[in-house]
């Protein structure tokens, strides 16, 4: 299988790339290294050393005997997205290329605008490029349970629910109530993906992750 990972330099993107390569899949990646810049901007660092991309690719070749094709670029550039998809024609596109920090999105208006514009533009570019190049590409998109906030009702597995509003029954999208500009960008992502699926029949998996916290056994 040929997989295009958007945001391959990130924590999730690189781990997924290694797993796929180990299983014999062909991997292509795009990244603009914005997360590295943002981490430096806020005066932070990684708990583990992160090698430059070329060193990472070289290590993959040495350990797995496989080559990761890497393109440095911005997924908000539609021409780039279309050219890469047209050239490699992946079976699957995994979209991790978003500003993914809620606190970062709340710093000020510039960080909020960057988060909204980057995240929504990149998702829109992906669905349009797939529509125009090859509609059978499977899009996998990272969402978040933070889209729902903390509702009193149990969040269903389905994206839709049967609702009764002013005595009228209809099937609607599960209500969302996000807690940051980042989370609101993910809410609109979900709506765009649902709409692209209904409009063009694209195959899209929008998977929502959440934090799992608890206490270990007492000694």
Out of 34, 104, 148, 182, which one is annotated catalytic?
A: 182
d(CA 207, CA 219): 36
Strand partners, 25: none
d(CA 207, CA 105): 21
Region of 150 on the Ramachandran plot (φ > 0 left; ψ -120 to 50 alpha; else beta): beta
Cβ proximity of 116 and 184 under 8 Å: yes
Per the annotation, the verdict on 191 as an active-site residue is: no
Out of 35, 76, 144, 148, which one is annotated catalytic?
A: 144
Per the annotation, the verdict on 113 as an active-site residue is: no
Q: CA of 29: how far to CAs of 6, 94, 150, 204, in Å?
A: 6, 10, 35, 19
Q: In this structure, what are the phi and psi dihedrals at residue 33, rounded to the nearest 5 degrees?
A: 60, 25
Nearest to 29 by CA among 5, 59, 63: 5
Per the annotation, the verdict on 144 as an active-site residue is: yes
Cβ proximity of 25 and 19 under 8 Å: no
Q: In this structure, what are the phi and psi dihedrals at residue 153, rounded to the nearest 5 degrees?
A: -85, 160
> Among all residues, which ones are annotated catalytic?
144, 182, 186
């Amino acid at each position: 299988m040929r997989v295009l990972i958007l945001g391959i330099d990130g924590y999730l993107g690189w781990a997924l790339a290694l797993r796929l390569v180990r299983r014999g899949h062909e991997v292509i990646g795009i990244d603009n290294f914005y997360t590295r810049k943002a981490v430096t901007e806020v005066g932070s660092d990684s708990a583990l050393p992160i090698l430059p991309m070329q060193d990472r690719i070289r290590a993959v070749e040495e350990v797995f005997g496989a080559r990761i094709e890497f393109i440095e670029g911005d997924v908000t550039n539609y021409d780039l997205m279309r050219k890469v998809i047209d050239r490699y024609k992946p079976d699957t596109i995994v979209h991790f290329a978003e500003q993914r920090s809620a606190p970062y999105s709340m710093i000020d208006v510039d960080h909020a605008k960057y988060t909204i514009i980057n995240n929504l533009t990149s998702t829109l570019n992906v669905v349009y490029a797939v529509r125009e190049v090859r509609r059978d590409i499977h899009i996998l998109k990272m969402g978040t349970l933070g889209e729902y906030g903390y509702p009193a009702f149990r969040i269903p597995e389905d994206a839709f629910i049967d609702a009764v509003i002013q005595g009228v029954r209809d099937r609607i999208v599960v209500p969302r109530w996000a807690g940051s500009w980042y989370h609101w960008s993910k809410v609109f992502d979900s709506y765009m993906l649902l709409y692209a699926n209904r409009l063009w029949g694209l195959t899209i998996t929008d998977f929502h992750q959440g934090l799992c916290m608890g206490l270990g056994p007492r000694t």
